[in-house]
Chain A
Amino acid sequence: MTLRNPPIAEALPPVFEERTPRTGLAALILGNLSTSIGLFVLFLLLLIAIFAPWLGTVDPLAIDPTLRTRPPSADHFFGTDKLGRDLWSRVLFGTRVSLIVGFAVAVAATLLGVLLGMVSGYVRVLDGLLMRAMDAVMSIPSILLAIALVALTRPSVLNVIIAITVAEIPRVARLVRSVVLSLRDLPYVEAGVVSGSSSAKILRRHILPNAIAPIIVQATYICASAMIIEATLSFIGAGTPASIPSWGNIMAEGKALWQVKPMIVLIPAAFLSVTVLAVNMVGDGLRDALDSRLVKDV
């Protein structure tokens, strides 16, 4: 120890007033408010879709000519349509179609898009051809492509799903391809190549894990877009068959009575918009969460 009396620095006052950082639940909720709301709404809709038969509904296809276009009442919460069918039941059962189509298209388009994107990004011989094909598909506006595909088939929910999936695949394929291209030259991927791993193994072990976050975000947006396209197809009469109640169908049938009973259109419209909004909010929340993970503190 020194013998002299060395000068000691004084601590300086804080420039910012100290604020205890938010922790726990508060941080979680405030940090991801829109994601939480979106997830909550989607959960609610999932429950509605599963338990539709037990939520005070009747057969959504049951026609009652004596009860046509009735206003809302205790028996018919949302009233009845022009054939006397209970609107509440039809709207609740319609939830099923939207959720199934949205989810199925998101999963199918993502899986196929990942496959095509990886092949394109990794097998150089096929890249040019595949990407020109994707360009061609993307040159056709997706609603138009789906319309053209469905128009040629018998209306069914499966055909609607297939048609929308075809239109959405290029979005995922291009995204995955760009991630593969940006990653394939990184040292750890190159190391895998040098050490003799097979291409399939490198893709699975190294590239897929890095691509997964943006793919999930893209999948939520595809889910939202699929719900809108399904409703649009049904609305112009080229989508879900009339025998299955879907929000688009209900609106299509309400079209004729629009000037007299606007509620028949507006109620399913509200359900559809809220559902798509919820999916988009989840997507935005996920994207922000992923973005901020990449941005370091100053």
Chain B
Amino acid sequence: MLKLAFKRILMTVPVMFLVALLVFSLLYLAPGDPAVVFAGDQATPEQIEMTRQRMGLDQPFVQRFGTWLLNLAQGDLGTSLISNVPVAKLIGQRLEPTLSLTLLTLVWSALVAIPLAILAAWKRGSLIDRGVMLLGVAGFSIPIFVLAYILSYVFALELRWLPVQGYKPLSDGLWPWFRSLIMPAAALGAGYVALISRIGRTALVEIMQQDYIRTAKSKGANPRIVLFRHALKNAAVPISTVIGLGVGLLIGGAVVTETVFALPGVGRLTADAILRRDYPVIQGVVLLFSFSYMLINLAVDLLYPIFDPRIRY
């Protein structure tokens, strides 16, 4: 059992390597000469050449990739072209707001979305069901930053209940911290809630048509027992899968949310790095986000046997 789980973990190593290669070679995949782009339109040929050397672009690809990987293995993500601070340190300083935001969003979204999915599946075809489905489409359709602005307009500008922008670290106390994250987490979570509730509902509706649900009913089980005891446990695998996959939305969304609400997190760091074309920072952040995303989904995979005894690694 443990041995098989270990094998499953080993299987992600090649994909992680490919992700690293991809992130590294983005510089080469993108159309145009990165040195020219970074140096700017007004740069002289000498300046461009200097930039090229500074970015290491004059060395062969394989050599550069090898060096980069070696450094990576030692936790060295390179150095910012703008501030000359190590990328790992830059990220470390910005980790708290991003972790706070994404974890809070993950928790509230799952707590809201799963009951919505259950309710919709239970009252299938009813107004509640249609409402949940409509909410789902709307949640997919409103971009995070749009929702962020609407929330900010209502609750900060008009009602003045919440601060317009800014982050209060946990060290300032739980309540100020929480207050500064209410709107960002609400905006970030809407699409996630939509995704989870929709997939969850579909999974439950499909499960409710299975033969074993008919068996449960034929034993005289009431709808509550059928749903919670027989259907829900079978839906745990698809629901946990979509929660894991949806973290991709949270990560992409964090960049936008942190920009709108001026949260000093990794997402904001990304947005700033893009505007200044600070390439090592972009690489480091993309790599970090992608690896976290992969590891979260790996963890979800390893949880499957708890929900479904048929799955063994």
Binding site for B on A (CB under 8 A): 132-133, 135-137, 139-145, 147-154, 159, 162, 166, 224, 228, 231-232, 235-238, 251, 258-259, 262, 265-266, 269, 272-273, 276-277, 279-281, 284
Contacts and interface: CB of A to CB of B under 8 A. Distances in A.
Given A151-B274, A152-B37, A273-B142, A141 B31 contact: no
A280 to B, nearest CB: 5
Nearest to A281: B137
Nearest to B17: A136
19 contacts: A132-B14, A136-B19, A141-B248, A142-B252, A151-B274, A152-B27, A152-B277, A153-B30, A166-B29, A231-B143, A235-B145, A236-B275, A238-B274, A238-B275, A251-B146, A258-B149, A276-B140, A276-B142, A277-B137
Q: Could you say which interface size class chain B belongs to?
A: 35 or more
Contacts of A235: 145, 256, 259
Given A140-B286, A236-B271, A269-B146, A133 B157 contact: no
Given A141-B248, A145-B286, A149-B30, A259 B164 contact: yes
A28 B130 CA distance: 19
Contacts of A132: 14-15, 18
B31 A153 contact: yes
Contacts of A259: 157, 164
Contacts of A224: 140-141
A144 B286 contact: yes
B186 interface: no
A265 B18 contact: no
A237 B255 contact: no
Given A141-B249, A236-B255, A259-B164, A272 B146 contact: yes
Nearest to B276: A151
Interface string B127-154: 0000000000110111111100110110
Given A143-B252, A162-B31, A148 B146 contact: no
B252 A141 contact: yes
B26 interface: yes
A258 B261 CA distance: 12
Nearest to B20: A136
Given A139-B15, A152-B26, 4 more contacts: A132-B18, A133-B18, A152-B34, A153-B37
A236 B276 CA distance: 12
B289 interface: yes
Mostly helix, strand, loop or mixed at chain B's interface? Answer: helix
**Best-buried of A148, A224, A279 by chain B (most CB within 10 Å):** A148
B138 A277 contact: yes
A266 B282 CA distance: 30
A150 B164 CA distance: 30
A231 B141 CA distance: 12
Contact of B251 (A141, A237, A280): A141
Nearest to B291: A139
Given A147-B270, A273-B141, A280-B140, A140 B157 contact: no
Contacts of B164: 259
B271 A266 contact: no
Nearest to B287: A140
Contacts of A148: 23, 26, 274, 282-283, 286
**Best-buried of B26, B145, B157 by chain A (most CB within 10 Å):** B145
Contacts of A150: 30, 274
Nearest to B253: A143
Contacts of B220: none
A262 B143 contact: no
Contacts of A136: 15, 18-19, 21-22
- Give me the 5 closest cross-chain CB pairs, A-B, nearest first: A143-B252, A152-B30, A136-B18, A277-B141, A141-B248
A144 B149 contact: no
A231 B148 CA distance: 14
B251 A236 contact: no
B282 A151 contact: yes
Contacts of A140: 19, 22-23, 286, 289-290, 293
Contacts of B18: 132-133, 135-136
A266 to B, nearest CB: 7
B141 A152 contact: no
Contacts of A280: 137, 140-141
Contact of B141 (A137, A142, A276): A276
Nearest to B145: A235
Contacts of A142: 248, 252
B196 interface: no
A281 B274 CA distance: 33
B149 A269 contact: yes
A137 B21 CA distance: 11
A272 B147 CA distance: 11
Contact of B274 (A141, A237, A279): A237
Contacts of A141: 248-249, 251-252, 289-290, 293
A265 B149 CA distance: 8
